[in-house]
Each structure stands twice: as C-alpha cells, then as structure tokens.
A and B are shown apart, each in its own frame.
Chain A
C-alpha cells in the first residue's frame, strides 16, 4: 500500500503493512496520550498532541488504519490511564471515525494529494479538521449510553473536543506530513 497517492480501489485493502502501521499508530497514540494540557481559560478543554496521529495515520495510510489508530489507540490510552479498554467505548469509536474520515481524503481531497508537498501537508490539515468535525458527532451517542442531554453534550463534549483537536491537527499534521514524505520516498513506499 502506498501512501497519500493511494487509489480509491486500495483504500480498503488490509495487508500486513496495514496491520503493522495501524498497530504502531495505536501504540504511539496510547503512549503519547499520557501527555496533555488544558487550553488556557477553560476547565475541561484538553489539548492532546497525540490526537494528531489519528488524522495523520488516516490521511497517510487510509481509512482502515485511521479507524484502528483512533479506536484502539484511544482505548489503549484509557487502558494505560486505568479507565478500562472499553469503559468509554463510544468516545474511542468517535476517535476512530475521525481517522476513518481523514483516511477517506482521496475521495474528497484527491487534487491536494498529488501536488507538491505543501499542498499535501495542507490537505492533511484539512482532512484532520473534516475528520474531527464529522467523527466526533458520534459522541452524541452518550444521549443513549449515559442519558446526557444534547445541550450538555454539545457544550461540554463535542464543541470543546472539536476545538481542541482542530487546533492540534491543524498545527501538527502538516509537520508530520512534511517529515514523513521524504522518508517515504527513501523507503520506496
């Protein structure tokens, strides 16, 4: 599977490369999820640099990898923090959907994925933002799971998380794309 120039047909291919990249992304997300900080002036908006990996792995290696990195990586992060692998399963799944939507970038950002590296980096940021806005809609499943109201989920869940994660992916995903592209060519990917 090649990266960032993948065709629509191999978006859904699951090979050893898919599995290993997904596992590495999820493990990295888990390890780095121990590092976060509060957005100044807020009480519950936490910036998680590791989240940029979800969008990056989705964008670079496809929707299957993105889904896995988001879902399993967030679950592993919860596991390492001692909350349990599945306790907040719907939030983990929402993270997975972010990676999935970012991984669908060849379907909606095709023109940006074949251009110069600056366009591909910008494409990564856009895919991450689109993924965050759409993927985190799944946290509204807490209306049924936890009995929360739409208003409280919107104000204390969806909006803060999307703001924090949009800032994160907009800054870090392009940096990761810039770093990965030359290495990818060296490796012949």
Chain B
C-alpha cells in the first residue's frame, strides 16, 4: 500500500512556481471570494479559478474521483442550506416560485440565486485549492511554511509529517496483515458502529504505540544535532521570480479591490437575474 501525496502537476506551469505562491493564492482568493454575493462577479471569479486550475496541468482522469467527491459534498451543503434558509434572506424582497411542503420554506428567485452564488463560491475555492494538493512537491511543504513566516519548529513538524507517511503506511499495512493472519480483519464491514470501532482497536493501538515508541531514535538524532538551539537552514532554496510576483500582486489586487467594493458597491448583495423574477411572476 502506497500512501503518499500525488504530485500530479509535476512539470506544469503552476508546479514550476515557488510553492509559496500556491499557498498565498488560496489565502488571497478566499479573502476575495468571501466578499462577493453578486452572481455575476462570482461567475467571473469561478472562471478565474478554473483558468488558474488549468495551469496546473492535472489530467482530469487522475482526479475524477476527487472532483466528484468535492462537488457532491458541496452540492449537498448548498441544497441543505437553501432548504433551511430560503425564508431568511434578510432585507431582500423575494419572488416566490413555490413553498416546500412540511418544512414550509419558500423557494424563490432570490433563494435560488443565493444558492447558485454559494455553489460557485465553493467550486471556485476547490479549484484554487486543488493545485496545492497536486502541484507542490511533498518534500517542499516544510520549507514553504518556514519561508512564509510560520515558526520554524512548526515547519519542521510539517516536513517530518510528510517524511513519516511512507513508513507509517507500510506499518499500517503490515499490522492489518498481521491481524488478518490471526483471524481478525480490522477493516471488515460488519457489525454496528461500536463493534466496528472496537474492531479497529487492534489496528490502531499497536500502530500508534509502536510509532511513538519508535520515535526515540528520531528525537535522539534531533537532540544530538542541537535541534531548536539556533536558526535552521533548509536544503531547498526558494526564490520568487518575476512571474511569481506578478501572480501574487494580481491576486492581492483582486482581494483588495473586492474588499473595498464590498463596502462601497452592491457586490456583497444578491443580484437576481431578471428572467428568474419574470419566471416567478408568471
């Protein structure tokens, strides 16, 4: 069993960027997107996010399951949110289509527009977030966070986490095999939730305790190298080139512009397409 982050965007235009760019773009894009409820602006942001995603060079066949899972989850969230809050669009005159039986929620042109904007917001955030999963080399996460100003010990922890993944995934598979040889399958899909949780204890417990006990060598090695006593250097050197700066400045400008517009214009309010209002009026 090979549990490791998939570096699917290797060699793509986005993967050649400084990894800090990919992380900062997510932050800046989220700041920009949460200001917006006008569907027209949100559609433009979604288009920008998809264009950005396209530069990651990730084959759709490799991430089909990820997209299906993400879209299913966020669609459920948006539908439930609309069903529960369709009645509560404050300060908005609604043009109702119909009322849901039992719940009594009014489905209106405005609640559908709100749902569409919310759905686009989530999809855009996922599109901008996926490249962090697939276009940053796993070994670069530690230095990326360190160079972003995160405390060095935390960054070393992130780096160590990625380094522990392969060996722990081997231990995970070996423990499952060992339990199966003894006649117990920790991953068996039978019994109620409590029985299944208790059934996984023979996997979880030795895996966890062995990992902690086995960590002594790593701790000793770090102590012997005087970990934490001075400023740490990193083997990988990160440098922002002109393209990186342009991308960062572009997304920073977007976040700033939409933040100002959020206070001065109506982009933070719902914009309902006239055809939906007409449709509701019939």
Q: List 27 A-B contacts (CB under 8 A).
A: A14-B153, A16-B219, A19-B157, A19-B222, A20-B219, A23-B158, A23-B164, A28-B168, A31-B168, A31-B172, A47-B193, A52-B204, A56-B208, A76-B162, A82-B63, A84-B130, A85-B23, A146-B122, A152-B77, A156-B80, A171-B194, A176-B204, A176-B208, A179-B205, A179-B208, A183-B209, A183-B212
Q: How far is it, in angstroms, between the C-alpha of A71 and the C-alpha of B140 when the chains are bound? A: 18
Of residues A14, A19, A26, which shows the largest number of chain B Cβ atoms within 10 Å of its Cβ?
Answer: A19
B205 and A176: CB pair below 8 A? yes
Which residues of B lie under 8 Å from residue A88 when comparing CB positions?
129
* Total CB contacts across the A-B interface at under 8 A: 203
Q: A residues near B, CB below 8 A?
A: 14-24, 26-28, 30-32, 34-35, 37, 39-40, 44, 47, 49-50, 52-53, 56, 68, 72-73, 76, 78-89, 144-149, 151-152, 155-156, 167-168, 171-172, 175-176, 179-180, 183, 187
Instruction: Give A103 to B134 CA distance when docked, in angstroms.
Output: 33
Contacts of A28 in B (CB 8 A): 168, 207-208, 211
Bound CA span A28–B171, Å: 10
B132 close to A144 (CB less than 8 A): no
The docked-state distance in angstroms from the alpha carbon of A90 to that of B185 is 34
Q: How far is the CA of A44 from the CA of B163 in the complex (A)?
A: 32
Main SS at interface, chain B: helix
**Main DSSP-derived SS at the A contact region:** helix
B121 adjacent to chain A (CB < 8 Å): yes
Contacts A24-B164, A80-B4, A82-B6 given; 7 further ones with Cβ under 8 A? Answer: A14-B153, A14-B228, A18-B153, A20-B160, A87-B133, A156-B77, A172-B204
Do the beta carbons of A155 and B219 come within 8 Å of each other? no
Of residues 181 through 239 on chain B, the ones whose CB sits less than 8 Å from some CB of chain A are: 187, 189, 192-194, 196-198, 200-201, 204-209, 211-213, 215-216, 218-219, 222-223, 227-228
